[in-house]
Structure 1
Amino acid sequence: MRGSPGTFPIRLKALPGEVLDSWLEALAHRLHTPLGDALSGLGLHAFDDELPVGSTSTEMLTRRLTSGVAASIAEATGTPVETLHAMTLAHYDQRVLDLAPRSGLVLNATRWGKGTGARFCTDCLAESGGRWQLSW
């Protein structure tokens, strides 16, 4: 792996069914650091040549992870690579939606696509303790 990001001093386990961006935001909150700083701490800048422009945003990370990015996040957080991949939309690729192989953009909105508005209901978010579910 390229330039190891090191290990975060605090661990936070992902909740069952939680989506990657929710977990990353909860982790940043637990670390008492801005989300952007937490993302930098994951060492993702080392993979700029593998990812589309802007892909270090949590929205892009939620679509699909490259093996290098997943390994870097796993090393920094102690979360298994398999768990990280299961927290992305790649889990639904070719079943509910079609993702572009490199960018992870949704290709086929006839299966599923993000419409306007939020991707959750307030009751569901309250039930999950503020942690977003991938199925939403």
Structure 2
Amino acid sequence: MEQPVKKYQSGVEATLDVIGGKWKSIILYHLVDEKRRFNELRRLTPSISHKMLTQQLRELERDGLVFRHDYNEVPPRVEYELSEYGQGLIGVLDFFCYWGEAHLERVYGDKSVALEGPFMSEEEMLQIASGAGLKRE
């Protein structure tokens, strides 16, 4: 049976339907530069529960943003990485970082008061602000 087409008021709403919530953008952010194992993602996101991380990864995989790689090894090894489709969100995630750091500067005068790091350099922030985006190595 075909699912009915969900109607959105804007592209922002459609984007947030896929990456919204407390954890998905953070998980995606940690997958931008490299593959990560489940427990590595848990360490990088200490406030997330095992159950929630599992659920969010399954949804990101279902939506085609993340690939899950199961290796036939003992002990079992599973890694997650951004799919090519998910890599299309890197600019969005970079801008989230830029905007969030600028917001913390505005509110606190010093983003390091509220942000544990890593920080974007002024050059990186200017690249994003000018629309150039970041080139990740």
Question: Normalising by the residue count of structure 2, what TM-score does the alignment of the two structures yield?
Answer: 0.30
Q: Which has the higher strand share?
A: 2
Compare the two structures and name the one with the higher helix fraction. 2
CA radius of gyration, larger in: 2
Give the alignment's TM-score, normalised by structure 1.
0.30
Highest RCO, 1 vs 2 (Cα 8 Å, sep ≥ 6): 1
